Amino acid sequence: MTAEEALLEEVRGLAAAVPDPEMPMVNLEDLGILRGVARDAEGTVTVTITPTYSGCPAMDAIRANIRERLAEHGHTRVRVRTELAPAWSTDRITAEGRRKLAEHGIAPPTGAAPAPGAALVPLSVRCPRCGAFTTRELSRFGSTACRALYVCESCREPFDHVKPL
């Protein structure tokens, strides 16, 4: 491995480990927000990220947290670039990210994101607390805009569900 490759691997690891400000149990790698890391001839590091949706209010905090994390490790010439295409989808959430969400009471999305123009058939959402499928949506918007609020009819507990995109 060259020195450049090692540096980029280090930077990617640092950026990947930044926690999501709205769901701190998962990091940018878990959510599939981190797209790539590069360095130009002048030595400026560019970290490319994709928001979970174009209006995500956490993006400013994510950019600042990436810059702060990298600066703590001596990388002060950093640019954080937002890339909207291809759009992020819940397919990008890693298995580890899905496990962490469920472990913290947030129902992860299941299955693959629908193809453009596909007819959506609502499926039951598994309760992250008791595992029951007897759940229903209370509100299309949960504690953040990318989550919906559900309630379990079995254990009667409310929970957030990451909306499939």
pLDDT tens for 94-140 read 999 999 999 999 988 875 555 666 655 566 888 999 999 999 998 88
Assign a CATH topology to domain 3-82: GMP Synthetase; Chain A, domain 3 (3.30.300)
Residue 19 DSSP symbol: B
Q: Are 126 and 119 in contact (CB under 8 A)?
A: no
Cα(123)–Cα(126) distance, rounded to whole angstroms? 9
**Quick one: pLDDT at residue 114?**
56
Query: Domain boundaries in the chain?
Result: 3-82, 106-162
Cα distance from N-terminal residue to C-terminal residue, the chain: 37
pLDDT value at position 38? 96
Q: Kindly indicate the confidence band of residue 15, based on its pLDDT and cuts at 50, 70 and 90.
A: very high
Under a CB-based contact definition with an 8 Å cutoff, are residues 110 and 124 in contact?
no
pLDDT (tens digit per residue) in 130-165: 999 999 998 888 888 788 899 999 999 999 888 876
